[in-house]
Amino acid sequence: MKGYKKYYFNKILWYLLTLVCAVILNFVLPRLMPGDPVASIASQSLAGVTDATQVQKVYAEYAAKFGTDRPMWEQFFIWLGNALHGDLGQSFSQYPREVSDILAKAIPWTLALQLPAIIVGWLLGNILGAIAAYMKGVFDKAVLPLFMFIGSFPAFGMATIMLYIFSLKLKIAPTAGAYGFDLIPTMSWTFVKSVISHYQLPFWSIVLITIGGQGIGMRSMAIYELNADYVKYSRFLGIKDNKIVGYVFRNAMLPQITGLALSLGTMIGGNMVAEMMFSYPGLGMTMLTAVTGQDYPLLSACTLIITIMVLIANLALEIIYGIIDPRVKAQQQD
Amino acid sequence: MGKVMLEVKDLRTKYITRFHEDVYSVDGVSLKIEEGKSLGVAGESGCGKSTLALSLMGYYFAPLHYMSGDIIVDGKTISGMDPDDVRKHILGNEIAYIPQAAMNAMNPTMKIIRFIEDVMAAHQIDMSKKDIYDMAKERFAILGLPEEVLDRHAVELSGGMKQRTVIAISTILSPKVLIADEPSSALDVTSQKMVIKMMREMMEKGFIRSMIFITHELPLLYNVTDDIMVMYAGRIVERGTAKEMVFDPMHPYSHGLMGSIIVPESGTREQKLTAIPGTPPNLKNPPKGCRFAPRCKYATPECSYVDPLMKDFDAGRQYACLKSIEELREVYAREQ
Ligand SMILES: Nc1ncnc2c1ncn2[C@@H]1O[C@H](COP(=O)(O)OP(=O)(O)O)[C@@H](O)[C@H]1O
Ligand code: SF4
Ligand SMILES: [Mg+2]
Go through the domains of chain A in sequence order and give each one's CATH number: 25-87 (no CATH), 99-333 (1.10.3720.10)
Q: For the segment B269-318, what is each residue's pLDDT rounded down to a tens digit?
A: 334 444 788 889 999 988 889 999 999 989 999 999 999 999 998 888 99
| 3-state secondary structure (DSSP) of residue B267 | coil
| 3-state secondary structure (DSSP) of residue B183 | coil
Q: Tell me the ipTM for this assembly.
A: 0.89
Atom of ligand 1 nearest to the CA of B280: 25
β-pairing verdict for B211-215 and B38-42: parallel
pLDDT above 70 coverage of chain A, percent: 97
A243 Cα–ligand 2 center, Å:
49
B119 touches chain A (CB under 8 A): yes
Architecture of the domain delimited by B1-104+175-336: 3-Layer(aba) Sandwich (3.40)
Which amino acid is located at B90 in the chain? I
Q: What is the DSSP letter of B277?
A: S
Q: Check pLDDT > 90 for residue B126.
A: no
Q: For the segment B191-223, what is each residue's pLDDT rounded down to a tens digit?
A: 888 888 899 899 999 999 999 999 987 767 887
Q: Where are the alpha helices (DSSP H) in chain B?
A: 49-56, 83-85, 112-122, 129-142, 159-170, 189-204, 218-224, 242-247, 252-262, 269-273, 325-335
Question: Ligand 2 in contact with B296 (CB < 6 A)?
Answer: yes
Q: What are phi and psi of B121, to 5 degrees?
A: -60, -35
Question: Ligand 1 in contact with B46 (CB < 6 A)?
Answer: yes
Cross-chain Cβ contact B91/A229 below 8 Å: no
Neighbours of A257 (CB within 10 A): 16
List chain B residues with CB under 8 Å of A3.
none
Q: What is the DSSP letter of A98?
A: B
Q: Which residue of B has its CA nearest to A252?
A: B109
Residue B95 near residue B8, CB atoms below 8 Å: no
Q: How far is CA B238 from the centre of its chain?
A: 15
A246 touches chain B (CB under 8 A): no
3-state SS track over B76-132: EECCCCCHHHHHHHHECCCEEEECCCHHHCCCCCCEHHHHHHHHHHHCCCCCCHHHH
* Residue range A111-126: mean pLDDT, rounded: 91
List chain B residues with CB under 8 Å of A251.
107-109
* Residue range B82-110: mean pLDDT, rounded: 91
| 3-state secondary structure (DSSP) of residue A144 | helix
CA distance A271 to A208: 12
What's chain A's average pLDDT?
A: 84
B114 touches chain A (CB under 8 A): no
Q: Check pLDDT > 60 for residue A80.
A: yes
Q: For the segment A278-298, what is each residue's pLDDT rounded down to a tens digit?
A: 888 888 888 888 888 888 888
pLDDT above 70 coverage of chain B, percent: 94
Q: What are phi and psi of B41, to 5 degrees?
A: -120, 120
pLDDT above 90 coverage of chain A, percent: 15
What integer pLDDT is reported at residue A268 of this predicted model? 66
What integer pLDDT is reported at residue A163 of this predicted model? 86
* Residue range A131-138: mean pLDDT, rounded: 88
What integer pLDDT is reported at residue B265 of this predicted model? 41
Partner residue facing B91 (CB), from A237, A243, A247 = A237
| Higher pLDDT among residues A77 and B6, named by residue | B6
Q: Check pLDDT > 50 for residue B326.
A: yes
| 3-state secondary structure (DSSP) of residue B6 | strand
What integer pLDDT is reported at residue B218 of this predicted model? 74
Q: Check pLDDT > 50 for residue B48.
A: yes
Taking alpha carbons only, the member of A24, A107, A70 closest to residue A287 is A107
Edge-to-edge strand order for the sheet containing B95-98? B95-98, B177-181, B211-215, B38-42, B227-232, B235-241, B317-319, B311-313
| pLDDT level of residue B140 (50, 70, 90 thresholds) | very high
- Alpha-carbon distances of B304 from B43, B47, B286, B290, B320, rounded to whole Å: 21, 19, 11, 6, 14
| pLDDT level of residue B32 (50, 70, 90 thresholds) | very high
Q: Check pLDDT > 60 for residue A126.
A: yes
Taking alpha carbons only, the member of B246, B284, B230 closest to residue B25 is B284
What integer pLDDT is reported at residue B82 of this predicted model? 94
Q: Check pLDDT > 80 for residue A328.
A: no
| pLDDT level of residue A1 (50, 70, 90 thresholds) | low
3-state SS track over A51-84: CHHHHHHHHHHHHHHHCCCCCHHHHHHHHHHHHH
CA distance A127 to B73: 42
Partner residue facing A237 (CB), from B110, B119, B156 = B119
| DSSP state string for A125-141 | HHHHHHHHHHH-HHIII
Q: What is the DSSP letter of B303?
A: G
Most ligand 1 atoms within 8 A of CB, residue of B17, B51, B185, B215 to mutate: B51
| pLDDT level of residue B71 (50, 70, 90 thresholds) | very high
| Higher pLDDT among residues A260 and B148, named by residue | B148
What integer pLDDT is reported at residue A114 of this predicted model? 87
List chain B residues with CB under 8 Å of A330.
153, 155-156
Question: Ligand 1 in contact with B280 (CB < 6 A)?
Answer: no
Range from B70-84, B146-160, B180-194 carrying the lowest mean pLDDT: B180-194
Omega prior to B249 cis, within 30 of 0: no
* Residue range B176-200: mean pLDDT, rounded: 87
Cross-chain Cβ contact B169/A237 below 8 Å: yes
| 3-state secondary structure (DSSP) of residue B236 | strand
Q: For the segment A5-50, what is each residue's pLDDT rounded down to a tens digit?
A: 788 888 889 999 999 998 898 888 888 877 777 777 777 777 777 7
β-pairing verdict for B22-34 and B177-181: unpaired
What integer pLDDT is reported at residue A266 of this predicted model? 72
A239 touches chain B (CB under 8 A): yes
Task: Kindly report the nearest CA distance between residue B38 and chain A, in angstroms.
Answer: 21
Range from A122-136, A175-189, B196-210 carrying the lowest mean pLDDT: A175-189
CA distance B302 to B297: 14
Question: Ligand 2 in contact with B67 (CB < 6 A)?
Answer: no
List chain A residues with CB under 8 Å of B116.
none
| pLDDT level of residue A165 (50, 70, 90 thresholds) | confident
Residue B111 near residue B150, CB atoms below 8 Å: yes
Cross-chain Cβ contact B108/A230 below 8 Å: yes
Beta bridge partners of B318: B239, B312
Q: Check pLDDT > 50 for residue B262.
A: no
Omega prior to B63 cis, within 30 of 0: yes
| Higher pLDDT among residues B92 and A157, named by residue | B92
Residue B299 near residue B288, CB atoms below 8 Å: no
Give every CB contact of residue B115 below 8 A, 6+ residues apart in sequence.
B106, B107, B169
Neighbours of A18 (CB within 10 A): 14
What integer pLDDT is reported at residue A173 of this predicted model? 78
* Residue range A98-110: mean pLDDT, rounded: 88
Q: Which residue of A has its CA nearest to B89?
A: A238
Question: Residue B241 region, left (φ>0) first, then alpha (ψ -120 to 50), else beta?
Answer: beta
CA distance B199 to B214: 13
- Alpha-carbon distances of B11 from B7, B45, B286, rounded to whole Å: 10, 20, 17
Partner residue facing A229 (CB), from B87, B93, B105 = B105
What integer pLDDT is reported at residue A75 of this predicted model? 84
Give the highest mean pLDDT range of A94-103, A169-178, B225-234: B225-234
Q: Which of residues 229-248 of B touch A (CB under 8 A)?
A: none
